[in-house]
Amino acid sequence: MHYFNLLFCLLTLSVSSQNVTKKYLSNETATYEEAISFYTEMSNKYSKAKLLRYGGTDVGKPLHLFVISGDGDFDPKSVKQKNKRVIFINNAIHPGEPCGVDASIKLAHDLLKNKKLKSLLDHVVICIVPIYNIGGALNRGCCSRANQNGPKEYGFRGNAQNLDLNRDFIKCDSKNAVTFTRMFRAWDPDIFIDTHTSNGADYQYVMTLIATQKDKLNSTISGFVEETMLPQLYNTMKAVGYEMIPYVNPIDKIPDNGIVDYLETPRYSSGYSTLFNTIGFTTESHMFKPFEDRVLATYYFLLATIQFADEKHEEIGEKRRLANQQVAEQDVFSIFWELDTSKYKEIEFKGFEAGEKRSSISGEQRLYYDREKPYTKTIVYYNTFKATIEVQKPYLYLIPQAWKEVIERLENNKIRMSRLATDTVLEVETYYITSYESVEKPYESHYLHYNVQVDSKKQRVKYYVGDYVIICDQNSNRYIVECLEPQAKDSYFAWNFFDSALQQKEWFSSYVFEDLAAELLENNVALRAIFEAKKREDKDFAANSRSQLKFIYENSSYYEKSHNRYPVARVMQEIELPLSD
């Protein structure tokens, strides 16, 4: 009886796994349980496949990675030594956009069972995250994406903490992101693909694509992607019947007036992967198209990328090797960008005529697209961004050990750090945060800072045994700089990890400080001159005794030097420090 039950379970699993590869044909997407069951069966059945469990997620279930390796080697270090290219596919970061879940299941099935595709694994190893946002995938329903054309049921955008995981790659608030970081850095992929479904305008294409913004990429990789990789991917997709267009991000209300490249900063998956010279793509299948077409378009893009990586494996490897070397030696880094509207290119766009009609709800005019009136026209594509803030890379950064949340994130990203072996006083370059703005409402559980202004000063600062030293000679320098420079868009300062440094801890009592303030002005001619000038020029200041005392206090030795001082310091010149192993 026991044997019969076991056999029945195996048969049921086999039938379920076989059916799950075709669910998309019935406007259905695989559940979390079905996806893991499928990959478990493939792992047990094929020596070229292995389902790995990495770490936890916020919902309590493990994050899996399914690896397909032509020679059965599942050790990332060994794979790199064999000069194989690693393609990393991330699915269901937004489980309501599940095209990649089903496309990856079909991809894994075909790569392992179709002998005609066998050669694609000669120089490429495939890593697939079956479902990244497991909590959101388990929160399944029919209706949270009101504008989307299928599937019948799908998951929810927020994870178990109600975080959007595609805003969590740098800040790592979720267990999902912590586990992903370790997984990503262990495999150090050459190409990263995050699968999505788009929202927004209506047009004829099933698939749109966000390629890592070219002006943020290392120039060696950027030139290769723009001139060689993207043209071949676009041509291949057109040949298989799923012509692509860049992600439709209109500069105005409708695409006819032009579209703008998407600037993915490190909070996003492909913006994060760029920090390590990984070629990043975000597929955005069009929400209005049938689910079957969206899955197949995603599937063919994955296949086209694998084919390209197999053909160009040597060139991709050499471009990344060179880029890593250049980043390790690079002196100046861009940390903030803005769109350059003076530069654009013209592209062919296949859309639908847009118009306005009276709303039956409000009675006002509303936008609509007429699918009975398709068109092909030339539109402008703004895809150039210019750096607005650049910084000189220091020889090293110093981080006091008190800032453990930042240290943990650096460690998870495999940043090479040393620790001071003795207490020591060093002359360093420090930033003072002179001004910043913050969002009014919480954004992904943070009050994000922006428009950060700093003033740089040289000071002698005491450091202690165990404080951290990061020497900037690493191929991860881009990550180091963009995380630790406070003016960077997604720096750890911007994400509030250093907010306690912004609070003043000591103060003064006016009636006690009056006599001392008078003495300070009498003994400091320069301070008195500045003080009197400010009274003449600022009527409010001249009429406010408390403001006058505050001014004298803040310009005296009694004012705490650490107030508004950014805790991460810079040393520009090479120095020898007492470091522990």
Q: 126: number of CA atoms within 13 Å, CB side? A: 26
Based on the fold, state whether residues 528 and 448 are members of the same structural domain. no
Based on the fold, state whether residues 265 and 145 are members of the same structural domain. yes
* Cβ contacts of 335 within 8 Å, gap of 6 or more: 387, 389, 390, 391, 481, 482, 485, 487, 488, 489, 491
Digit-coded pLDDT (tens) for 328-386: 999 999 999 999 999 999 999 999 999 999 999 999 999 999 999 999 999 999 999 99
Q: Is residue 412 part of a domain?
A: yes
Based on the fold, state whether residues 163 and 119 are members of the same structural domain. yes
Based on the fold, state whether residues 415 and 524 are members of the same structural domain. no
Mean pLDDT (whole number) for 253-260: 95
What does the pLDDT read at residue 18?
A: 54
At 117, which CATH number? 3.40.630.10
Based on the fold, state whether residues 464 and 535 are members of the same structural domain. no
Residue 3 has pLDDT above 80, yes or no: no
Based on the fold, state whether residues 572 and 484 are members of the same structural domain. yes
Based on the fold, state whether residues 105 and 184 are members of the same structural domain. yes
Residue 6 has pLDDT above 50, yes or no: no
Based on the fold, state whether residues 454 and 481 are members of the same structural domain. yes
Query: How many Cβ atoms sit within 10 Å of the Cβ of residue 359?
Result: 12
Based on the fold, state whether residues 517 and 473 are members of the same structural domain. no
Domains: count for the chain: 3
Instruction: Write the DSSP string, 131-173.
Output: -S-HHHHHS-BS-SSTT----SSB--SS-TTS--GGG-TTT--
Q: Is residue 235 part of a domain?
A: yes
436 — pLDDT class (breaks 50, 70, 90): very high
Owning domain of residue 490: 393-502+565-580
Digit-coded pLDDT (tens) for 564-577: 999 999 999 999 99
Digit-coded pLDDT (tens) for 109-166: 999 999 999 899 999 999 999 999 999 999 999 999 999 999 999 999 999 999 999 9
Digit-coded pLDDT (tens) for 12-43: 333 344 589 999 999 999 999 999 999 999 99
Q: Is residue 366 part of a domain?
A: no
Q: Is residue 25 part of a domain?
A: yes
Distance CA(191)–CA(197), nearest Å, equals 20
Based on the fold, state whether residues 313 and 404 are members of the same structural domain. no
DSSP state of 228: I
Residue 444 has pLDDT above 50, yes or no: yes
Based on the fold, state whether residues 434 and 528 are members of the same structural domain. no
Based on the fold, state whether residues 258 and 168 are members of the same structural domain. yes
Q: Is residue 202 part of a domain?
A: yes
8 A C-beta contact, residue 60 and residue 126? no
Q: Is residue 545 part of a domain?
A: yes
